[in-house]
Amino acid sequence: MVQQAIRKVFRFKRKSRLKAMSTFEKLIALLLVVASIFMLLPLVYIFNHALKPYEELFIYPPTIWARNPAFQNFIELFQVSADSIIPVSRYLFNSFAVAALSVAAITLVSALCAYPLSKHKFPGHKLLFATIMLTLMFTPETVAIPRYLVVSNLGIMNTYWGHILPLVAVPVSVFLMKQFIDQLPNELLESARMDGANEFTVFLRIVVPVIMPAVATIAITSFQTAWGNAETSTLFMQDEQMKTFPFFVQTLTANMANNVARQGAVAAAALLIFLPNLIIFLAFQRKVIATMAHSGIK
């Protein structure tokens, strides 16, 4: 009886909400639902594409749904390197390790850079911040050779540092962090210093909790960049054991005599590359919205 009463209450609320909406609002809501379904089609396609057998991968016109779903593509993906020295699991481990370390390094460096730019008005801080923003104008190709020379002279090729260090400098992350830290009143920081807190305590106990939405956003973007990056493996890694999963995916169909072989493995690999990005974004999407609301980006 209680459950039936609860259901009736919820039904009444739903009906009352629909009745309260005007015809125009109902039309807008319907259009938004249709647009949401349309935007979900690529997600549905990539999941089904990875489960399609070979006879469905090349069917024309292409279909969204897999008629006979199977995990043969994933089996093929792991069998590709069965006879080689380096298994697929090694590439996946390298990608996860590089992505996790890159997220930690980018977040830490960006926060430590944004804090003095925002709250310590040292001589030239505006010029330094403008220079950091100016670097957004440079494409990655323009700094490829200097980046290679730096990594080579530091002697970090064929190491995880060779993957991480080229990704650490992210001007957008510094900008987001600074926008959040600017919201903190200087009086709050000064009162903490008067109570005996040092700069590290002020940063850790007061600044970091405020910038957590920005940290979550930067973590998502940094993970996406590091997880899908094959450039560092191509340029800085000669040892096959230190290369990442995206680089391995690029080699699946390289130097093949036709365009059919290993396409199933490529479809499965594409899903494996996409899935971690989707999970992390869904986990931190609320933080992303909070970041955009407080950073001045509309």
CA-closest candidate to residue 169, choices 92, 114, 217, 124: 114
Peptide bond between residue 213 and the one before it cis (omega within 30 degrees of 0):
no
pLDDT tens, 94-130? 999 999 999 999 999 999 999 999 888 888 888 988 8
Confidence of residue 249 (pLDDT cuts 50, 70, 90): confident
- pLDDT score, position 95: 94
Q: From CA 34, how far away is CA 82, in angstroms rounded?
A: 45
Per-domain boundaries in the chain: 2-70, 83-294
User: What fold does the segment set 83-294 form as a domain?
Assistant: MetI-like fold (1.10.3720)
Peptide bond between residue 61 and the one before it cis (omega within 30 degrees of 0):
yes
pLDDT tens, 13-39? 555 566 677 777 878 888 988 888 888
- pLDDT score, position 297: 41
Q: What is the pTM of this model?
A: 0.79
99 contacts 223 by C-beta, under 8 angstroms: yes
Residue type, 136: L
